[in-house]
Amino acid sequence: MRVHVLGHWGAYPEPGQATTGLLVETDKQRVLIDAGSGVLSQLFDICTVSDLTAVVITHHHHDHTADLGVLGYALLLSRITGSRTTKLPIYMLPGSEERMSEWAREPLADVHVLSPDSKVDIDGIQVSFAATVHAVPCLAVRMEYQGETFVFSADTSYCQPVTKLARSADLFLCESSMYLGQERDARAAGHVTAPEAGQMASAAGVKRLVLTHLPHYGNLDDLVLQAATTYNGPILRAEHRMVLEVSSS
């Protein structure tokens, strides 16, 4: 598996970049995880909506779904032009009545409502979930394919269900919204600090940690240094259009 970091900012995008969005790519699948602000413009540098195998939405905050509506428009146009003729599976927690009814009106959208106990097979990718601790219902995502495991924390405070989901993952992409000393604010907002991200990675025994959902203040390199105080494996900070290889070796 390869993970394209389409967007790695929390709250709002920096110029020319995007909030949360990931493209998980294998030899035959392309799965979009979240559609934050600016994600579609980054996605379309790699593939079109006609090339997507599925979409997974972790929760309904704007920095994870701002481009979800325009993804619907792209799907509509692909239907009109005939560039896509098969339905696009979209997996998400229940959204607002307006959002769900909009998707119900698109013939090419095949919406599947998720719960933390859901198990999904996306053309050979085995996907499971865990409830996070956040301001709204939110799901962390685990993907397994041909012996490789990728886990995305989505938005969460430190919690056991996400740590359990990440157990022995080859790659753990974990949010890191705040710095050391901001633990109280992080918990109140449903996020983790960099040291807490490291603690989750260490407790889960993951092989590699990548910090994402980054803040717009402070020295971002400090996030890696702070996470390294609680996790002794390889740590990277997500960057614009970074491509991460998921390897079990």
pLDDT digits (tens, 9 = 90+) for 142-200: 999 999 999 999 999 999 999 999 999 999 999 999 999 999 999 999 999 999 999 99
C-alpha–C-alpha distance, residues 59 and 97, integer Å: 15
C-alpha–C-alpha distance, residues 41 and 218, integer Å: 27
C-alpha–C-alpha distance, residues 239 and 237, integer Å: 6
Q: Which residues, in sequence order, are bridge partners of residue 173?
A: 152, 210
pLDDT at residue 249 in the model: 75
Name all domains of the chain by residue range, CATH numbers in brackets. Answer: 7-245 (3.60.15.10)
Tokens representing residue 121 in the block: 């097979």
In the chain, where do the E strands start and end?
2-7, 21-25, 30-33, 54-57, 88-92, 109-113, 119-122, 125-131, 139-145, 148-152, 171-175, 209-212, 235-237, 243-245
pLDDT at residue 115 in the model: 97
Tokens representing residue 163 in the block: 């740590």
Residues of the chain with pLDDT under 70: none
Give the residue from 91, 93, 127, 97 showing the smallest Cα distance to 110: 91
